[in-house]
Amino acid sequence: MSVFSSLRVRNYRLFSTGQLVKLLGTWMMFVAQDWLVLQLSHNSPTALGVVTALQFTPVLLLTLYGGQLADRFDKRRLLLFANAGSALVATLLGVLVVTGVVTLWWVFVTAGLFGVISAIETPVRQAFVSELVGPELLPNALSLSAATFNAARVVGPAVAGLVIGLLHERTGPIFLLTAGLCLAPLVGLSRMRTAELFRVDRPPVSASDARTADGLRYVKRRPDLSLAILLVLVVGLFGFNFQLTLAVLAKVEFKVNAEYFGLLTTALAVGALGGALASSRRRARPSAYVVLAAAVLFGGFETLVGFAPTFVTAVLLLLPTGFFMIYFAQAANQRVQLGTDPEFRGRVMALYVLVFLGTTPLGALVIGWCSERYGPRSGIWVGGLVSVLATLVMGAMQLRRVGGKVRVHLRPSPHLHVFEPARKDTPAFELRVPAVR
């Protein structure tokens, strides 16, 4: 299977193109929003934590309902409404900034509105990918969707940083540009051939049949799903707060301007793009040990970023951090989505999105307070250490559940084998470190 196999499917090609254009604007808007908050609040990490919390609190409250909608209604139409809403919110914020009447409270309001839209749109979009391609292409399509997301993260922040600098730190035009770019998915979704969608033939699902509680009970009965979701919960809560921590690290610790802040975010995104492309060649459902190994490596590199002595060192360390961040997120996503029955996919993916993004309000408040109380670096290395410790605990739980054993060999090169009783002498997972010669 090639890296871009899913792009041969017309509907997926339209979907991914529209998402790429929109996400370019979205990441530009995030950078501009963070910079605007720091300008209006006189460089307060707490204010940045509050706006991040407001942006993600609706995800915490409404994502499960979004998954219920995904299992009841036409996902394509839901996405049309959601993307139109995003364009309206970006337009509102842009007009407020350009006219000079924006205040910190207006940024809080628009962040909350954008969060409400994301809470509905994200689980629907995640579940919709399975309707765009067949089962054999689904792992590749999921990875390419992550690559699209991170390609936008590479270009968007860098462009936003340059534009903010060229406009003498004015952010209004970026929000208006974002509003225009949010129209791209509307074009792609409207041009799709609905007859070519891969939809499961089943009777219409009523509100009583698509209950959220049934989806939660389904996950509870599936330890293979619940372990991945629980790990994403902890890592997402403490480790995935880069929207907050990198802005504080750039402006407070390294005392650089917007262009260099964009460089930090771009370095993370370049690594993440590599992780997404590396995941795209996966043909089958990843094992629990792939998810666990990627989480440990992500947490380890994030911890090192927190102790980076110079700006250049931080940029270099963010490359592998971004790689393993997305490699972990994609492995967990694929393990959950490829192991879920179609009739529950909307609600299960809503739960995944809830723990992946919905915990950010709590994490942003904790990490924002930590950064202000103990220094801007602490918000990063605390998140990395907690991620590593949580992964080790859950790895021990997985081994205990299946009766597995771990063997470490130092020669001829350092490597680790995980054995499960059902596989006898065949490793269920192997991790090798190339020998230095």
Check: CB of residue 247 under 8 Å from CB of residue 49.
no
Would you list the domain boundaries of the chain? 5-198+209-402, 403-437
CA dist 58 and 307 (Å) reads 33
DSSP secondary structure of 363-402: HHHHHHHHHHHH-TTHHHHHHHHHHHHHHHHHHHHHHHHH
3-state helix, strand, coil split of the chain in percent (to 5) is: 75, 5, 20
CA dist 146 and 215 (Å) reads 24
Q: Which fold has domain 5-198+209-402?
A: Growth Hormone; Chain: A; (1.20.1250)
Dihedral sign of CA atoms 6, 123, 298, 249 in order: positive
Q: What angle do CA 162, 165, 170 make, to 5 degrees?
A: 115
Tokens of 9: 């499917």
pLDDT in the model for residue 278:
82
pLDDT in the model for residue 88:
93
End-to-end CA distance of the chain: 33
Taking CA atoms, 335 is separated from 150, 202, 213, 316, 381, in Å, by 20, 24, 21, 30, 27
CA dist 217 and 348 (Å) reads 10
Check: CB of residue 67 under 8 Å from CB of residue 343.
no
In this prediction the pTM is 0.69
- The DSSP element (H or E) to which 406 belongs, if any, is strand 405-409
Amino acid at position 246, single letter: L
Phi, psi of 419 (to 5 degrees): -110, 140
pLDDT tens by residue, the chain, 437 residues:
566 778 888 989 999 899 889 988 888 888 888 888 888 887 777 787 788 778 877 877 787 787 788 778 888 899 999 999 999 999 999 899 888 888 888 988 998 898 889 888 888 888 888 888 877 788 788 777 877 776 676 677 767 777 777 776 677 788 888 899 989 999 999 998 888 887 665 544 544 445 667 777 888 888 888 888 889 888 888 888 787 778 777 777 777 766 677 778 778 878 887 887 787 777 778 888 889 989 999 999 999 998 988 888 998 999 999 999 988 988 888 888 778 877 777 778 778 877 876 666 677 777 777 777 787 788 888 889 999 999 999 888 888 777 767 666 666 666 666 766 766 555 666 666 554 44
**Residue whose pair of structure tokens reads 């292409």 in the numeric block:** 137
pLDDT in the model for residue 435:
47
CB neighbour list of residue 252: distance below 8 Å, 6 or more residues apart: 43, 45, 376
Using a CB cutoff of 8 Å and minimum separation of 24, what contacts does 423-432 make?
428/287, 428/289, 428/404, 429/287, 429/289, 429/290, 429/293, 431/293
CB neighbour list of residue 391: distance below 8 Å, 6 or more residues apart: 231, 235, 292, 295, 296, 299
CB atoms within 10 A of CB 207: 9
CA dist 175 and 93 (Å) reads 7
pLDDT in the model for residue 333:
83
SS3 label, residue 163:
helix
Task: Count how many Cα atoms sit within 13 Å of the Cα of residue 212 in the half-sphere of its side chain.
Answer: 13
Beta bridge partners of 408: 416
Tokens of 100: 């000079």
pLDDT in the model for residue 360:
64
Phi, psi of 277 (to 5 degrees): -70, -35
CB neighbour list of residue 374: distance below 8 Å, 6 or more residues apart: none
SS3 label, residue 97:
helix
In eight-state DSSP terms, residue 289 is H
